[in-house]
Structure 1
Amino acid sequence: MGQSAAIPVPAFDVDVLLDTAVASVRDVRCRGECRHRSAEECASATHLVFPYRGVYLRHVGSAQAVADANHVLSFNAGEGYRVSHPLEGGDASLSIRLDEALLRELAPPALLRDDAPPAFRHQALRIDARAQALVALLRHALHHDRVEPLEAEGLVLTLASRSLGPRTARTPGATRARQRLVDRAKLLLASDPARRWTLAGIAAQVGGSPVYLTQAFKQVEGMPLYRYQLQLRLARALDLLESDIDLSALAQDLGFSSHSHFAAAFRQAYGRTPSGFRGVAAHR
C-alpha cells in the first residue's frame, strides 16, 4: 500500500464569535510560519482588524504597515494585499465586518475613498488605550458567551467609533524613508516588549541618530517611543489577564520594575487595576 499524501495544516484558526446583520466578529489566529511575503490575498468585504497578540507586516503595493496591538488595520474589499511575519510566535487579531451603511455612518468622510463598497484611504491607524481595552472585553465576553447579541453589537459599534474618531493618529506627510525607519523601530519593540531599551540602543539597531529617530517616530505615530512600548506591554497584559497568571509574575515578565508600577500604569491607561479589569472580564 502506498503512503497517503500528507494533509496540509491550515495556517489559520478562525472562531466566529458573532454574526448578525449589524456586524460579524471573528477571532483569527495565525501561526506566522512564513517569513517572506505571502501570495496575494483579497478580502471580499471591508474589515477592521485589531491585532491583539504578536506582530506581522501587511503589504499593499509598495506600501507596508506594521500590524501590532497599537493599531487597527483596514482590509478593503477587493484590494489585494500580502502578509509577512518578520518575528516568530505567530499573531492573533479580532476581525470585524460592519454593515456597509453603518460603516459609512461611523467613519469620518476624510478616511474613506469615494468607492463602493466603502474603502479606507489608510491601511493602518493607531488606536488608543480605551480601544485596546474594548477589544479585550469584547473578545473575552464573546468567547465565554457572557454577552447577548444586542450588547455585543453595541460594543462593536463603540469600538469602531472610538478607533475611527479624532483620537486616531494620522501620518502627516512622512516620507517613505521615515516611515520605514519607524516601522523597523516598531518591529524591534514588538520583538521583546519587556526589554528596557535605551534610545541609543534602538537607534543603533534600526539606523539613524537618536534625535532623528525621536523626531520621525513622533511625527508618524504621534507619541514618543517609550509610550508606544508601554502600550504594547499593557496590550499584552490585556491578552493574558484572563488566565490565572500571578500578577506580580506578569509585571516582571512584561518588564515593569514592580507590581505597583505595573498596576499604576495599567490603571492610568484603562481606568482599572489589573485585578479589577480581570474581574470585569470574568463577569461581564
Structure 2
Amino acid sequence: MIGDKPCPAGGGIRRSTMSDVSAETLLQTEVVAIRDVVCDGTCRHRSAEECAHSAHLVFPYRGVFVRHLGTDDAVAEANQVVFFNPAEGYRTSHPVAGGDACLDLVVDDALLRELAPAELLHEGATTAFRPQRLRIDARSQALVALLRHSLKRNAAETLEAETLALTLVRRAIGERTSHQAGASRGLQKLVDRAKLALSADLARRWTLAEIAAEVGVSPVYLTQVFRQVEGMPLYRYQLRLRLAQALDLLGRYDDLTALGLDLGFSSHSHFSAAFRQAYGRTPAEFQRSVRLR
C-alpha cells in the first residue's frame, strides 16, 4: 500500500483493514505506481474524512462513486479522471448500488509536473490539481483498459507499461484531449444527477423524458445544460459509459453478441460499429490485442 491513511473509494490510500476495499499493485517503479482498486460500495452514505499523501490520478472503469470536497461534489465514472491532492480532506459516497473499480496512478512528482499543463496546477511546492476532475476522451478510456488488462495478465513488460502509463496521463490531462466543465456549480449538480441516473442502469434504453423526470427539469432544458457542461450530447455520454463497461467486460465474455445485448445495444453490428468508432478497433480485435481470448 502507498501509505497508511484512508483512501478514496476507488483510488488513493486506504487502510488495508477496511474490508469493503481491495487493492492490487500492478506496477511499482521509480516512474509510476499503478494499482487496481475495487470497492464494493456497501457504505452508501458519506465516509469519514480521508486524505491522500501524494497526488493520485484515479480512472474509474466500473461503477460510480461521489467524491465530496467541501461543498463541491464530483460524480466519478468511466468518462472521468478524478484528482486526489495530498493533504486535501474529502469524503466519498456510493449513491448507486454496485460499488466501483478504478485504476489508480501515482506518477513521480517531477514527471507529473512536466506532464501537467500549468493552468491545471495550484502554485506551490506540492503538486496539486485545481479541478476535481476532467472528462477524458475515448482513447484515454482504451488506454486505461489496455494498461490494466496487460498488467493483470503479465502481457506487458515494465518499459511498455511505464510508457503506456505516461501516455495515458498525458492524454487524460492534455488541453486537446480532456474537457473541464465550464458551468456554475448548480448546473454541474444538475448534470451529475443525470449521470447518476444513467449509471444506475447502463443497459436501460432511457427516453429523454424519463431522464429529465429523474432530474426534475424539462427535456429541452436538460439537453441544453448537459451539452453546455460536458461539451457533448447526453446520448453520446451514455454511449461512452456503455462502451467503457464493454472494455472492462471483454475478458469475461466469449460471446460478444451477448455482451453487446447485455449492455443495451440493439445488435452485435450496432455494438461492434460503435466500439470501432470510439476505439479504432472492433471488440474482437481489442480482445486479441491484449490477449483476453
TM-score, with normalisation over the residues of structure 2? Answer: 0.92
Checking the alignment, whether the CA contact within 8 Å between 1:264 and 1:273 is kept in structure 2 is: yes
Overall identity of the aligned pairs, in %: 63
1:149 aligns with 2:122: no
- 1:116 positional shift: 2.3
1:20 aligns with 2:46: no
Question: Which residue is equivalent to 1:212?
Answer: 221
Q: Gaps (5+ residues) in structure 2? A: 1-16
- 1:90 positional shift: 1.1
1:179 aligns with 2:181: no
Question: C-alpha separation between the residues in 1 aligned to 2:126 and 2:154?
Answer: 32
Q: Gaps (5+ residues) in structure 1? A: 1-7
Checking the alignment, whether the CA contact within 8 Å between 1:14 and 1:29 is kept in structure 2 is: yes
SS at match of 2:178: coil
SS at match of 1:193: coil
What residue identity is the alignment partner of 2:281?
R
Checking the alignment, whether the CA contact within 8 Å between 2:133 and 2:180 is kept in structure 1 is: no
Question: Which residue is equivalent to 1:279?
Answer: 288
Checking the alignment, whether the CA contact within 8 Å between 2:251 and 2:292 is kept in structure 1 is: no
Checking the alignment, whether the CA contact within 8 Å between 1:242 and 1:281 is kept in structure 2 is: no
Decide which of 66, 77, 80 is 1:71's aligned counterpart: 80
Checking the alignment, whether the CA contact within 8 Å between 1:129 and 1:269 is kept in structure 2 is: yes
SS at match of 1:29: strand
Write out aligned runs for 1:82-161 (5 A): 82-161=91-170
Question: C-alpha separation between the residues in 2 aligned to 1:209 and 1:241?
Answer: 37
What residue identity is the alignment partner of 1:46?
A
- 1:245 positional shift: 3.6
List, as ranges, runs of 4+ consecutive aligned residues in structure 1 with deviation greater than 2 Å.
none
Checking the alignment, whether the CA contact within 8 Å between 2:63 and 2:100 is kept in structure 1 is: yes
Question: Which residue is equivalent to 2:3?
Answer: none
Question: C-alpha separation between the residues in 2 aligned to 1:158 and 1:26?
Answer: 17
Question: C-alpha separation between the residues in 2 aligned to 1:115 and 1:40?
Answer: 24
Question: C-alpha separation between the residues in 2 aligned to 1:17 and 1:170?
Answer: 29
What residue identity is the alignment partner of 2:42?
E
Question: Which residue is equivalent to 1:167?
Answer: 177
SS at match of 1:272: coil
Checking the alignment, whether the CA contact within 8 Å between 1:34 and 1:85 is kept in structure 2 is: yes
Question: C-alpha separation between the residues in 1 aligned to 2:132 and 2:250?
Answer: 29
Checking the alignment, whether the CA contact within 8 Å between 1:146 and 1:283 is kept in structure 2 is: no
Deviations 1:3-24 (A, max 9, x none): xxxxx76121000000001000
Decide which of 230, 233, 236 is 1:227's aligned counterpart: 236
Question: Which residue is equivalent to 2:40?
Answer: 31
Deviations 1:191-222 (A, max 9, x none): 11111111111111111111211111111111
What residue identity is the alignment partner of 2:280?
G
Deviations 1:9-65 (A, max 9, x none): 612100000000100000000010111100000000101000000000001000010
1:270 aligns with 2:276: no
